Amino acid sequence: MKVFVTGVNGQLGHDVMNELAKRGYEGVGSDLAPEYAGVADNTAVTKAPYVALDITDAEAVDKVISKVKPDVIIHCAAWTAVDMAEDDDKVAAVRKVNVGGTQNIANVAKKLDVPMVYLSTDYVFDGQGTTPWKPDFKGYKPMNVYGETKLGGEEAVANTLDKYFIVRIAWVFGVNGHNFIKTMLKVGANHDEVKVVNDQIGTPTYTFDLARLLVDMIETDKYGYYHATNSELPDTESGYDENGTKTGYISWYDFTKEIYRQAGYKTKVTPVTTAEYGLSKAVRPFNSRLDKSKLVENGFKPLPVWPDAVRRYLEILKKQGFFDELGK
């Protein structure tokens, strides 16, 4: 199987390419840069075929992907800078990438009659309430430019193709890029106390684990909408496990507490409300709970529990010398 992957200079594209290689599939990577420009970690993606591609250029998309002749397209590339997307001078560019670029890729997938995987977000919903969002719920109500444009991308895929997987994820982290874990480790290394919001609830997604699921998906024809994050810890009576880690869905505060516990940080973590925290240009969802039961219903293996993902991720950061640079 030959798979065309966009966004390989980002967190998920990097891990998808490596997962494909692990299974003996041929991954062809692409991104904006003239050559692979992600983390130089000597993994399969760093040596895999790569083509420079601006997904907003319809002609180039058609030409490049038609030449590759993939069996499947996994579209990881996106404008993901949520706050910057709100700048008046950026809105058109964000739309061009997230909606236009996705439409360009969907058009080629249709022409070649191949399935497409599109990664999306809980930001397509209004972020209110406490009920976990189901993947086939159609009451879309994005609250910011990023959410609007990712929904536009979903519609481009669903309105153009019959064979597609739309997979919504949240709170993403991986080795190849900036993310919340790295930020909190840096901040915690030189502050005695950090303040973290406690009223935005969801679960994180480790791209290494997600990549495995996406490749599982393309081995099937169980198309449709899915939600995929790492799994919650099973509920307990106290709401915490034996390590003091929050069970069920968590807040960014709970996430930070666990990151610090595992990293051996003594930094104090103080919970605050979104209103108290302030500082963000784009409206953030309070409810990022994603219902992932459809994965199991369709025979897919769920992602491991999130504290286990954090443990494995921190091990990689240690090996890469991340903590040495922080002086930890």
| Residue in 126, 166, 153 with CA at minimum distance from that of residue 142 | 126
Q: In CATH, what is the architecture of 2-173+204-230?
A: 3-Layer(aba) Sandwich (3.40)
**What's the pLDDT score for residue 288?**
98
**What's the pLDDT score for residue 159?**
98
| Residue in 295, 201, 324 with CA at minimum distance from that of residue 254 | 201
pLDDT beyond 80 at 100: yes
pLDDT tens per residue across span 289-326:
999 999 999 999 999 999 999 999 999 999 999 999 98
The torsion region of residue 35 among left (phi > 0), alpha (psi -120 to 50) and beta comes to beta
Residue 169 CA: distances (Å) to CA of 5, 47, 196, 214, 308: 17, 28, 21, 12, 18
Catalytic residue among 36, 50, 118, 146: 146
User: How far apart (Å, rounded) are the C-alpha atoms in residues 101 and 57?
Assistant: 7
CATH class of 180-202+232-288+304-321: alpha beta
The torsion region of residue 24 among left (phi > 0), alpha (psi -120 to 50) and beta comes to left
DSSP-assigned states of every residue in 94-125: HHIIIIIIHHHHHHHHHHHT--EEEEEEGGGS
User: How far apart (Å, rounded) are the C-alpha atoms in residues 228 and 302?
Assistant: 8
pLDDT tens per residue across span 175-232:
999 999 999 999 999 999 999 999 999 999 999 999 999 999 999 999 999 999 999 9
DSSP-assigned states of every residue in 193-217: EEEEESS-EE--EEHHHHHHHHHHH
pLDDT beyond 80 at 328: no
**Do 273 and 195 contact (CB within 8 A), yes or no?**
no
Pick from 76-85, 95-104, 122-131: least confident: 76-85
- Token pair 């286990």 in the structure block, residue: 308
Active site residue 50: no
Cβ atoms within 10 Å of 46's Cβ, excluding its own: 17
Domain locations along the chain: 2-173+204-230, 180-202+232-288+304-321
pLDDT beyond 90 at 147: yes
